[in-house]
A and B are shown apart, each in its own frame.
Chain A
Amino acid sequence: MKKIFGITFGGVQRKTLRLVLLVLLLACAMFTGISLYQNRQLVRVVEDTRTEQQTSISTLSSQTMRAVIDGSLTSTTQLQAQLADNDFLEITRNLYTLQSMAQSLLEKREDVIPQPVSPPLASMDGASAAYVLTEEGVDYTQSELLGVIAHLSSPMIAMHSNSEKIDGCFIGLEDGTFLCVDEKAAVKLDETGRPLSFPVRERPWYTGAIEADGLNYTDVMPDTFSGRLLVTCSIPIRAGDELLGVVGLDVVLESMDDFVSTSTEGCYAYVVNSNGRVILGPEGGGILAEEIDRQSDLREDPALLELLALAQTKNTGLRTIDLKGQAYYAVGAPMPSVGWSVLNIVDQQLTQQSEVQMLADYDGINQAATAKFEDGVGKTRTLGFILFAAVLALSLIAAYISTKRMVKPIEQMTKSIQSSSVSGKLFEMKDEYKTNDEIELLAEAFADLSKKTKRYIKEITEITAEKERIGAELSLATRIQAAMLPHIFPAFPDRAEFDIYASMDPAKEVGGDFYDYFLVDDDHLCMVMADVSGKGVPAALFMMASKIILQSCAMLGKAPAEILTMTNQAICSNNQEEMFVTVWVGVLELSTGRLIAANAGHEYPVLKKPDGSFELFKDKHGFVIGGMDGIKYKEYELQLEPGAKLFLYTDGVPEATDAGNALFGTERMLEALNSAQDKAPLEVLKTVRGAVDGFVQDAEQFDDLTMLCLEYKGSETRK
């Protein structure tokens, strides 16, 4: 028993509780393990799914975006390029027309009557008008060429007024004169109304065309007078090999400017000329601001080189290029008539914004869901722990109560058994032990055992008492038997004629041997040596009867043969158990030394003549007493001389056995007798006894040991 928190726990309870605790802990560990595993799996699945979905969204989105951009940007660029090119196509056609007209006029100038031209007038302003300007110090009236060219004034005015895109139409000549058609005559005059000088042959469009020896476009630049964005296209006029001048048209770029300026942050449109320089770009320059500022060749950038090279001839389609470390979509389309290209560049990040936003939104939703899930898991875990604790506590209490209930009958049984062992009361079956299980069986077994033990103790007590009683009775019987035999020595202190000594040592408490001697009358001593078949109480009882009958018969003064015959008759009449007794009986006439004896199956007597040694006397034998009815016994007569000795014994002497089952035998007996042949009967018996003990040593005394020795001293002594 063990006390914990004041509650007593028995061994069975402790073991059961331990078992319950173990099972619960194992179950809990298992469930925790499984739930943790599941949790982890779930988190992994969510994570994987998230990644997959994001990848999928991202891929799908970028593919979609690319498709959309590809479609729109490519076509837009194409359209822009075509529209712009159309304008230039028309203008170029006009320019060529004008050039050929000028060439044909100049080739036959001798035949052409010069047409007058005037310098610009303030009144000309606001409508298409032709006027002349000159380089510093040149007199246009001296020019041979100008008057010829002036014939083109009308077609030039028509050209100018018919096209919104043509801001001005002019022809510069090698002699420093300049025929111009536009609506801005007033700005060519100084404050005094005199025309400003115009360095015609230094203008870029003039030098550019000569240098190109063909169609040339200048850079885009604001108009000298109006500030509008203009580009001048020009072409030289030759008569044969002789350069005579340059025809030029100022083209308003407003329409192109429209789509270029539609550029927004991250989405830029450019017009690039054949030299790789940006002609038009968004305000601020956009992504290519630096290149525009430096007026550098875009083809220096290898990414753009390829694109621009391709864009010279055809629509490039949507391409992805790397600019300044960032990815851009780019589409280029050619403007064949001018050799330019339209370039649209779109920041991929811009196109990916929706995707990024979508991913972010999706991620947000995902994270919210994960957070909710984790929150839920946490709550479930907490709830699980609380539940487990509750289940544990309840289980332990339940186990405690159930084991208590289970163990209670056992405890009561233990108490009951302990108290019954003290009080000696019977352990009884009670209702509380009837649990319908092993406890009931145990209780039944205890009750049974208790009853049996009580009965057994009672029996043992009785048997012990009986044994003690028998022992006491036997010890009393031993004394009675011993007392029945003559046992006071010297037996006849007043008789000098003889000395007699006898002893009986029964193998058990009582024996079947006996000796007897008594004076039948003053002159006759009767001696008896007998051995009842068997040993112990039956032999002793038979011996008592035999002794009394023998003595009674002898006391009648009968002769030994008759004594035996009478005794046999008496015993046989009442002998159911086939018991018998061997008897030697002799009557010694003390006065004469005449001994008359009869032997009923007893051992041979041993005689010693006065001057001789002890010797067996092989007398006549009759059958044992009690064996057969109606036996007649014979007697014989011996003459004892004074000094003669007679030794009688039972078979216990010669048949004493040592540990090796060897018999003592008559030889050893005679030897022992002769070693003490001259001694008194007491000494003779002691010597024989000593010899037997020395022979037998530690072996158990097997038979009764009975001896008698008579020494006849003669009647003379008495007289």
Chain B
Amino acid sequence: MLNITKTIEDGRGTLSLEGRLDTMTAPELEQVVRDTIPGLTALTLDFAKLDYISSAGLRVLLSAQKQMNKQGSMKLTNVNETVLEIFEVTGFVDILTIA
């Protein structure tokens, strides 16, 4: 289960995720990101309530990061230890901006 809360202000978007970002829920985030990202100069992903992220979720993050690299910046906030460990294991810490 994944709940996504979206807020946009002056070309700056925030997506707050709650739950698990896995194979089942990744397509949802992918769709939201695809709809939200055009025209954004900054994208913040709030992971405060995200429990778990799978490789499918990582793929969506990679894709979003690549897109934002072209039009602005993207950062992750409130990343918990479990998720941070996954980022570390997979090397995603090297390409993501984690605040």
Contacts and interface: CB of A to CB of B under 8 A. Distances in A.
Q: Specify whether A and B are partners.
A: yes
Interface of A: 512, 531-535, 578-580, 582, 600-604, 621-624, 627-628, 651, 655, 661, 663, 702-703
B90 A582 contact: yes
B78 to A, nearest CB: 20
Given A533-B56, A534-B59, 17 more contacts: A533-B55, A534-B23, A534-B56, A535-B23, A578-B63, A580-B58, A580-B59, A582-B55, A602-B89, A621-B91, A623-B91, A623-B94, A624-B62, A624-B91, A627-B62, A627-B95, A703-B54
Contacts of A582: 55, 89-90
A580 B22 contact: no
A508 B29 CA distance: 22
User: Which of A512, A534, A582, A604 has the most chain B CB within a 10 Å cutoff?
Assistant: A534
A531 B90 CA distance: 11
B66 interface: yes
Contacts of A604: 89
B47 interface: no
B51 to A, nearest CB: 8
Contacts of B52: 655, 663
A661 B22 CA distance: 12
Q: Chain A contact residues: over half helix, strand or loop, or mixed?
A: loop
A628 B58 contact: no
Contact of A621 (B58, B59, B66, B88): B88
A411 to B, nearest CB: 55
Nearest to B55: A533
A601 B91 contact: yes
B90 A624 contact: yes
A580 to B, nearest CB: 6
B95 A628 contact: yes
A56 to B, nearest CB: 107
Contacts of A601: 89-92
Interface of B: 20, 22-23, 26, 52, 54-56, 58-59, 62-63, 66, 88-92, 94-95
A621 B55 contact: no
A628 B95 CA distance: 9
A542 B55 CA distance: 14
B22 A702 contact: yes
Contact of A532 (B55, B66, B88, B91): B55
Nearest to B51: A661
Contacts of B95: 623, 627-628
B88 A533 contact: no
Contacts, number: 64
Contacts of A602: 89-90
Most buried by A among B23, B56, B63: B23
A659 to B, nearest CB: 14
21 contacts: A512-B55, A533-B58, A534-B55, A578-B63, A580-B58, A580-B62, A582-B55, A582-B90, A600-B91, A601-B91, A601-B92, A622-B91, A623-B90, A623-B94, A624-B91, A627-B62, A627-B95, A651-B54, A661-B20, A663-B52, A702-B22
Q: Which 6 A-B pairs have the closest CB atoms?
A: A601-B90, A623-B91, A533-B55, A533-B59, A578-B63, A601-B91
A503 B62 CA distance: 29
Contacts of A531: 55
Contacts of B90: 582, 601-602, 621, 623-624
Nearest to A633: B91
A578 B59 contact: yes
Contacts of A702: 22-23
A417 to B, nearest CB: 45
Contacts of A533: 55-56, 58-59
Given A535-B23, A578-B62, A578-B66, A651 B55 contact: yes
A578 B94 CA distance: 17
Contacts of B56: 533-535
Contacts of B26: 534
Nearest to B60: A578
B97 to A, nearest CB: 14
A534 to B, nearest CB: 5
Nearest to A579: B59
A703 B26 CA distance: 14
Nearest to B24: A702
Nearest to A604: B89
Contacts of A651: 54-55
B54 A624 contact: no
A376 B3 CA distance: 96
A655 B58 contact: no
B2 to A, nearest CB: 13
Nearest to A581: B55
B56 to A, nearest CB: 5
A578 B57 CA distance: 12
A535 B55 CA distance: 9
